[in-house]
Structure 1
Amino acid sequence: MAAPRVVYDIDDRPPLAEAIPLGFQHLVAMLLGNITPPLLITGALGLATGEIAFVLQMVLVMAGLATLVQAYPIGPVGGRIPVIMGTSIAFVGGAIAIGRQHGLAVVFGACLAACLVEVVLGFSIVRLRRLFPPLVNGIVVMLIGLTLIPVGMDYAAGGVNADDYGSLANLGVAAVVFLVTLLLNQFGRGFVSYASMLIGVIVGYAAAFGLGKVDLTPVADAAWFALPRPLAYGIEFQWAAILVMGFIYVISAMETIGDITGTIAAIGREPTDDELRGGLVADGVMSGFAAIFSAFPNTSYSQNVGLINFTGVVSRHVTAIGGIILVALGVVPKVGAFFATIPPAVIGGGGLIMFAMIFASGLSIIHRSVPLTRRNLVILAVATGLGLGVELRPDVLQYLPEGLRTFFGSGLIAGGLSALVLNLVFPERHRRDPGNDHG
């Protein structure tokens, strides 16, 4: 097998004339993925445009700081690795459910308290990796996509509470984003194919602007500079919400392990224990830090792993430049205000493809790595059935105590926890090859 093509290794420092464009390229690759989760959460919770802009501002700053810590560790926090961090989409469903029931203070309190789960996982990762085989990982990734598809559909129609929900204008804008993204992804070349989602959103935004669905007044009213402000929505702790977020942090940790492994594969080796440990600890610590500043938990971004492998530029100093650019954008409120003007239908059109691809990625993990034995099919069926069941029919839990209703009301929790438990309880039976059985 040929060795990977490495242009710059992890500790190499490219000249700034090369490093800055390469860092900006990472920003382009992750930008839509970073702003979509907070837009979904804040939109579903009915926040005003100014509040959404503030949250987006905090999200950019925290993603940039988390990226910098991964490149330049502080003690045990950080893996000394070239990963781009951004808002995790895995937390969207849980944050919306908790936020609708208890408000944002409880969401941020749960994110802060539960971040310790990922920190502990980081320090224990060598012993705990066997708990998360490809079967469990694949089911969890599938459920993330499946449970978010209805959210994407609501956004494509204009948003749950929109007066023009399902109007032809909303569906038309969503269709433009959907089709442009799909066609460029399949028939584009190089950067055009890689940035198809971003280009689709730009075209959809232009279409929405032409239909009078974009109000740029908040951008004009926003300041040019503002420092991050902690505890803007307060912090409250409720055990059920903490348990929900704790389990999602476990899922986020699985994603981070996969991304770190994929990144280090670009230089032809497996990640060291220190790289995995530091990467996960940074993921947890910086997610807790984000909650204090009214942002949502971070995770590593798979699209940037692909970019690293594609370009052969594995330098952590390049990803650090991407982090610096994110922080710089985050302290300019006009940037957050501009992103807040993106109509729901635009987000929905791109989100539908994004969420369906997440489901397909989970399916690919199972297809590639999991034999479809009776045991594995049963685990897949039960976990998917329970996860979708509570997601589509939440009233089935209406007589449970409030804490249990909050915890099991997430399809991701119900299905993911089922997969984890069943994988431990049902023994793996290894059949002998009949051709080798001569006894």
Structure 2
Amino acid sequence: MSAPAAEKSSTTHPVDEVLPAPRLLVLGLQHLFIMYAGAVAVPLIVGPAVGLKGPDIAILVSADLLISGIATIIQSVGIGKIFGVRLPVVAGATFTVVNPMIIIANQYGGGRNGLQYVYGAMLVSGVFGLIIAKPFSMVLRFFPPLVTGTVITIIGLSLIGADVSLIAGDTGTKDFGQPSHIGLAALVVLFIVLISRFFTGFIGQTSTLISIILGSLVAWPMGLLKFPDVASAKWFGIAEPFHFGPPKFAAAAIISMCIVIMVTYVESTADMLAVAEMTDRELSPSDLARGLSTDGLSALLAGFMNSFPDTAYAENVGLIGMTKVRSRWVVTVCGVALLLLGLVPKVGAVVSDLPGPVIGGAATVMFAMVTSIGIRTLHKVDFENNHNLLIVAISLSFGLIPTVAPTFYQQFPKDFQIIFGSAITSTVLVVFVLNILFNVVGSSKRPHSGVIGEAYEAGAVVGEPEPPKA
């Protein structure tokens, strides 16, 4: 190797490293497989809940994958100084939008008519997101590890219900909770454990993907490996803009969707900070602003293309923590694959028809890994002689209510349900307000800037010990 080439290689940050093509492809597909179930879960939940039938739900799924692919590519590659955090961040439909979309659509007649109001509100919220991205990134000091750690923890905990339904099936059906399905999911988890324990390097890094393949092979003789939707799926297709009709606008719907954008920004901020820390890459306010702008752009595109706002996907954050692969170009491959899935419905049908227990078993590990990252972030917080433990306790209790009892707030006003009916939304609001109340108002300490790798900002960090004074 020539001296200049060696020097270039030694100075390339692992985030910017371009891995050999075979490794890029396999590692990128691993990111795809681990997030696919969560990505398609949003349209599969929203569609039936607002009164849509099979063909229209398929439109939602394809559009969701298309926008997710575009946003993921932009996040990892970047577009100038405007879009893209340039970290290994996978973008996918946020679960925060599920309840608001269902409530808004059903308030305005449900079905296609209701979705016209939903997507009208989403267009406005996308513009709103683009406008506030930069100002939002400047208030990172109000998101110390106390806040981000609590939010990341509840993201992982709240997603566990999604993988449980994949494993056990829908509650009330005759197939719910079959021991063979639960055993298959447990076997996938065991595969991940054994491969991670006894293999290193490339095999160890792809333990999740290998386990999904092995689990699918085991599911074959069980009669679970079927592809009923592949034959009827088209080879190529894209939904036309405003498939459900021209957008309609209502103030209440617009306000609700703008709240969703702000909560999504908090969720993405927590995940991007976690990725920055795991990859040893400093995250400046400008970097964060570009990442949040991409989320806003995804909402704007979703309003046109019948999709959903995107956020940084926590399960992929967990995968980075597990594999230690930091290259953003791996995530770019995942984004390209998502884009193709959105344009080639037949390929998407193959992935979507993989056995639920297999995907659910792998997702269980990834969602729990997200929770572990949140706990690790909270480990940085000083819990002595302050109210930080109380803040975490109250925030998590509010967040877990809609997770364990989805109908808990059904007697409350619809607007209240939109906010507190989401585990992530309620936790974000409670932990943010309580941190301000206890650690900012009347406190001699300044809140932390939240920028990974930067020096303490003018003194102490809220929730962390004071740095030694010169």
TM-score (norm 1): 0.80
Q: How many residues align?
A: 422
Instruction: In structure 2, list runs of 5 or more residues that go unmatched.
Output: 1-6, 446-459
Identify which of 60, 63, 69 aligns with 2:68: 63
Q: Structure 1 CA distance, aligned partners of 2:92 and 2:287?
A: 21
Q: Is the 8 A contact 1:111 1:245 kept in 2?
A: no
Q: Is the 8 A contact 1:228 1:293 kept in 2?
A: yes
Q: Structure 2 CA distance, aligned partners of 1:423 and 1:174?
A: 39
Identify which of 135, 152, 155 aligns with 1:141: 152
CA RMSD of aligned residues (A): 3.9
Q: Structure 2 CA distance, aligned partners of 1:284 and 1:6?
A: 36
The residue type equivalent to 2:32 in the other structure is L
Shift of residue 22, structure 1, vs aligned partner: 5.3
Identify which of 277, 293, 298 aligns with 2:305: 293
Alignment map for 1:148-159 (pairs within 5 Å): 148-159=159-170
Alignment map for 1:12-411 (pairs within 5 Å): 20-21=21-22, 23-45=24-46, 46=48, 54-70=59-75, 73-74=78-79, 77-79=82-84, 81-88=86-93, 91-92=94-95, 94-95=97-98, 98-99=101-102, 102=106, 105=115, 111-116=122-127, 118-160=129-171, 162-233=173-244, 238-239=253-254, 241-242=256-257, 245-255=260-270, 257-258=272-273, 261-262=276-277, 265=280, 270-300=282-312, 303=316, 306=320, 320=332, 323-411=335-423
What is the identity percentage for the equivalent residue pairs of Structure 1 and Structure 2? 26
**Residues 7 and 24 (structure 1), Cα distance of their counterparts in 2 relative to 1, 3 Å cut:** farther
Q: Is the 8 A contact 2:44 2:61 kept in 1?
A: no
Q: Is the 8 A contact 1:84 1:323 kept in 2?
A: no
Q: Is the 8 A contact 2:181 2:357 kept in 1?
A: yes
TM-score (norm 2): 0.75
Secondary structure of 1:265's aligned partner:
coil
Shift of residue 382, structure 1, vs aligned partner: 0.9
Secondary structure of 1:224's aligned partner:
coil
Shift of residue 380, structure 1, vs aligned partner: 0.7
Shift of residue 332, structure 1, vs aligned partner: 1.5
Cα offsets for 1:306-332 (capped at 9, x unmatched)? 49x956756x6x765654444234321
Q: Is the 8 A contact 1:71 1:78 kept in 2?
A: no
Q: Structure 2 CA distance, aligned partners of 1:288 and 1:65?
A: 12
**Residues 8 and 186 (structure 1), Cα distance of their counterparts in 2 relative to 1, 3 Å cut:** same
**Residues 406 and 277 (structure 1), Cα distance of their counterparts in 2 relative to 1, 3 Å cut:** closer
Q: Is the 8 A contact 1:10 1:82 kept in 2?
A: no
The residue type equivalent to 2:66 in the other structure is V
Report which stretch shifted further, 104-113 or 344-353. 104-113
Which structure has the highest helix share of the two? 1
Report which stretch shifted further, 292-301 or 135-144. 292-301
Q: Structure 2 CA distance, aligned partners of 1:60 and 1:213?
A: 24
**Residues 184 and 12 (structure 1), Cα distance of their counterparts in 2 relative to 1, 3 Å cut:** closer
**Residues 63 and 207 (structure 1), Cα distance of their counterparts in 2 relative to 1, 3 Å cut:** same
Q: Structure 2 CA distance, aligned partners of 1:409 and 1:253?
A: 19
Q: Structure 2 CA distance, aligned partners of 1:71 and 1:398?
A: 40
Secondary structure of 1:374's aligned partner:
coil
The residue type equivalent to 2:360 in the other structure is G
Q: Is the 8 A contact 2:264 2:311 kept in 1?
A: no
Q: Structure 2 CA distance, aligned partners of 1:11 and 1:30?
A: 16
* 2:441 equivalent to 1:416: no
The residue type equivalent to 1:140 in the other structure is V
Shift of residue 425, structure 1, vs aligned partner: 0.9
Cα offsets for 1:42-72 (capped at 9, x unmatched)? 4445577766654443343323322443466
Q: Is the 8 A contact 1:184 1:196 kept in 2?
A: yes
Q: Structure 2 CA distance, aligned partners of 1:201 and 1:70?
A: 26
